Structure 1
Amino acid sequence: MSDKIQDLKNKLIRLTSLDKSFEVFGSESHQYRLNPCLSEAEVSQLEAKYKVTLPTEFCNFLLNVGNGGVGPGYGLIGIDSVELSKMEILGLDFLSLPFCLNEEWNDLDLLQTSNGDAPNAYYDPKLVQGSLLVAEYGCGIEARLVITGEQAGKIWIDDRVGEGGIYPLTCHCAAFFHDDPDIEDNLYESVEEVKEALTFYEWYDNWLNRSISQVVQLM
């Protein structure tokens, strides 16, 4: 087990012991429980079925920490059979196709584009192909782990339900999502930031650090 994964486990233990009254956003949903880890055989079978290689940090988490449960938003989804079933409707190659974005995207003109009874082009699933849903922040906002393409291993936000588009989850975004989900968006609009998306480990570690800090301040 890597030092990074052990560090996450240590912080999880600390946060769980501190937040007995579930003060952290989403904690009442997961209640600091972890789902059982996957075996190496299970990971290999999944990768073979979907013709992908899972990002190393995510794979190490699945093998050594848990397959979802406690985590950002309403909890880490991990490898979820329900989500995989939804994805398979789009085709078994959905995960293996390259994630097509390298910078934030929000083409609201596509909301006016429709094809008969088909959904508006703005909501085309192809825009998030090559990514896996790993958490939900509420109000339809999804955190997705990119599996393929140049952004592989990074966390992106899909906020098309709120017409916020698709964009990398940066340190700046994490401050918004992990500190106070109810804070006004316009407080962050004018802040310059690096547009680099956080890796899976950086994302999860950011949530742990901010959650621990929040609980300690309340004590």
Structure 2
Amino acid sequence: MSGVWAGVRERVLALRAAPNRRAVFGAYFQEYGHRFELRPVLTEEQIGAVEWRRGVAFPAEYRGFLLEVGAGGAGPDYGLFPVEPVEDAAPYAYGTNASPPPFRPERTAEWEEHQSAEPQRSAYGDTAGEAERFREDHAAWDARDDELLEGLTDGALYVSEQGCAYYTLLALTGPERGTMWHDARAAAEGVVPVEFVGGTARVTFAQWYVHWLTNAERRAWEQAGA
């Protein structure tokens, strides 16, 4: 191994023996805990088949993680979602599958603007015709709201679950490719960038994962009760 992922798999697996491992959030939570286990790594061919099936090339850091650390398992929050090998994609060729649309975080502002324009019954008259017009306008607004809300995560990959319907995304396409985002639609906040305390720059997949690992090691290797 080389680069950012050198030794990372071994560091993660070593946490299974750490004295305070259960204090790390998400590691031991009923059936959802990742218990510091990692799935086997994937081969270049397996990753290529998955990319072909999904119509996108993974960002380099995420691709390196799949090759050198594991195809899911231990990680931030409740761990990383697994990437299953594609059994029936060979032979395959790049460019033959449809590519996903670009990831556009500015859609959140568009969705918020749409939210503020929700038709209100009080703005319509009291006649039956006005009531019907309100219903039609609101139905059209509601359909557009669903469309905008669904499109917020276009071009992104769900990589982990934070709990309570919050998720973490990796941008696969567009200018933000390779950066990490919170899917906070459950709190009506749309999609917002992952940020470290005091930081201003975008966070990449490797930065996000290694930041978690460093903090998990600090917590797990503390003596219980310290």
Q: Same fold (TM over 0.5)?
A: yes
Give the Å deviation of 1:214: 2.1
Moved more, 26-35 or 43-52: 43-52
User: What amino acid maps onto 2:51 in structure 1?
Assistant: E
Q: Distance in 1 between matches of 2:100 and 2:143?
A: 24
Indicate whether 1:149 and 2:149 are aligned: no
Give the Å deviation of 1:124: 2.4
Distance change >3 Å, CA 105–CA 26, structure 1 → 2: farther
Q: CA RMSD in A?
A: 2.8
Q: Distance in 2 between matches of 1:5 and 1:193?
A: 22
TM-score by length of 2: 0.72
1:11 partner SS = helix
Which residue number corresponds to residue 38 of structure 1?
42
TM-score by length of 1: 0.74
- Answer yes or no: is the 8 Å Cα contact 2:108–2:152 preserved in 1: no
- Answer yes or no: is the 8 Å Cα contact 1:141–1:161 preserved in 2: yes
Q: Distance in 2 between matches of 1:80 and 1:114?
A: 39
Which is greater in Rg? 2
User: Unpaired segments of 5 or more residues in structure 1?
Assistant: 82-91, 173-191
2:212 partner SS = helix
- Answer yes or no: is the 8 Å Cα contact 1:144–1:158 preserved in 2: yes
**Count of aligned pairs:** 188
Q: Distance in 2 between matches of 1:4 and 1:13?
A: 17
> Aligned match of 1:164 in 182, 189, 204?
189
Give the Å deviation of 1:166: 1.1
Q: Distance in 1 between matches of 2:223 and 2:184?
A: 30
2:186 partner SS = coil
User: What amino acid maps onto 1:37 in structure 2?
Assistant: V
Give the Å deviation of 1:96: 2.5
For residues 26-105 of structure 1, the aligned pairs below 5 Å read 26-28=26-28, 29-79=33-83, 93=98, 96-101=100-105, 105=109
% same residue: 28
